[in-house]
Structure 1
Amino acid sequence: MPRFAANLTMMFTELPFLDRFGAAAAAGFDAVEYLFPYDFPAEILAERLQAHGLTQALFNLPPGDWAAGDRGLAALPDRAAEFRASIATALAYAEATGAGRVHVMSGLADRNDAGAVRAYREALARLSDAAGGQGREVMIEPINPRDMPGYFLDDFDFAADLIAALDLPNLKLQFDIYHRQILHGDVLTGLRQMMPLIGHVQVASVPERHEPGTGELDDIRVLRELDALGYGGFVGCEYRPATGTVAGLGWLRAFG
Structure 2
Amino acid sequence: MPRFAANLSMLYPELDFLDRFEAAARDGFEAVEFLFPYAYPAHELAARLQANGLRQVLFNLPPGQWDDGERGLTALPGREAEFREAVQLALRYADALDCPRLHAMAGLVAPGLRREDMQATYLDNLRWAAEQAARAGRDILIEPINPRDIPGFFLNRQDHAHQVLDAVGAPNLKVQMDLYHCQIVEGDVATKLRRYLPTGRVGHLQIAGVPQRHEPDLGELNHPYLFGVIDELMATGQWDGWIGCEYRPSRGAVPGGTSAGLGWLRAAQAATA
User: Which TM class, normalised by the smaller chain length?
Assistant: over 0.9
Give the corresponding residue for 1:239: 247
Say yes or no: does 1:201 pair with 2:184.
Answer: no
| AA of the residue aligned to 1:152 | F
Tell me which stretches of 4 or more aligned residues in structure 1 moved more than 2 Å: 110-115
Equivalent residues of 1:212, 1:220 under 8 A apart: no
Counterpart of 1:174 in 2: which secondary structure? strand
CA deviation after TM superposition for structure 1 residue 115, in Å: 3.5
* CA–CA separation in structure 1 for the residues paired with 2:27 and 2:40: 23
Counterpart of 1:78 in 2: which secondary structure? coil
CA deviation after TM superposition for structure 1 residue 206, in Å: 0.2
Length, aligned pairs only? 256
Alignment RMSD, CA only? 1.1
CA deviation after TM superposition for structure 1 residue 112, in Å: 3.8
CA deviation after TM superposition for structure 1 residue 213, in Å: 1.5
Equivalent residues of 2:2, 2:243 under 8 A apart: yes
Equivalent residues of 2:115, 2:154 under 8 A apart: no
Q: Deviations over 1:31-88 (max 9, x none)?
A: 0000000000001000000000000010000000100011000000111110010011
* CA–CA separation in structure 2 for the residues paired with 1:40 and 1:167: 34
CA deviation after TM superposition for structure 1 residue 241, in Å: 0.6
Deviates more, 1:156-165 or 1:68-77: 156-165
Counterpart of 2:59 in 1: which secondary structure? strand
Equivalent residues of 2:180, 2:209 under 8 A apart: yes
TM-score by length of 2: 0.92
Instruction: For structure 1, list consecutive stretches of 5 or more residues without a partner in the other structure.
Output: none
| AA of the residue aligned to 1:241 | P
Q: Percent identity?
A: 54
* CA–CA separation in structure 2 for the residues paired with 1:51 and 1:115: 47
Equivalent residues of 1:5, 1:236 under 8 A apart: yes
Give the corresponding residue for 1:107: 107
Give the corresponding residue for 2:216: 212
Aligned 1:1-256 pairs, distance under 5 A:
1-109=1-109, 112-195=114-197, 196=199, 197-230=201-234, 231-243=239-251, 244-254=257-267, 255-256=269-270
Counterpart of 2:261 in 1: which secondary structure? helix
* CA–CA separation in structure 2 for the residues paired with 1:202 and 1:19: 22
CA deviation after TM superposition for structure 1 residue 242, in Å: 0.4
Q: Deviations over 1:80-104 (max 9, x none)?
A: 1100100110000000000010000
CA deviation after TM superposition for structure 1 residue 232, in Å: 1.4
Counterpart of 1:229 in 2: which secondary structure? helix
CA deviation after TM superposition for structure 1 residue 125, in Å: 0.5
Instruction: For structure 2, list consecutive stretches of 5 or more residues without a partner in the other structure.
Output: 252-256
Counterpart of 2:18 in 1: which secondary structure? helix
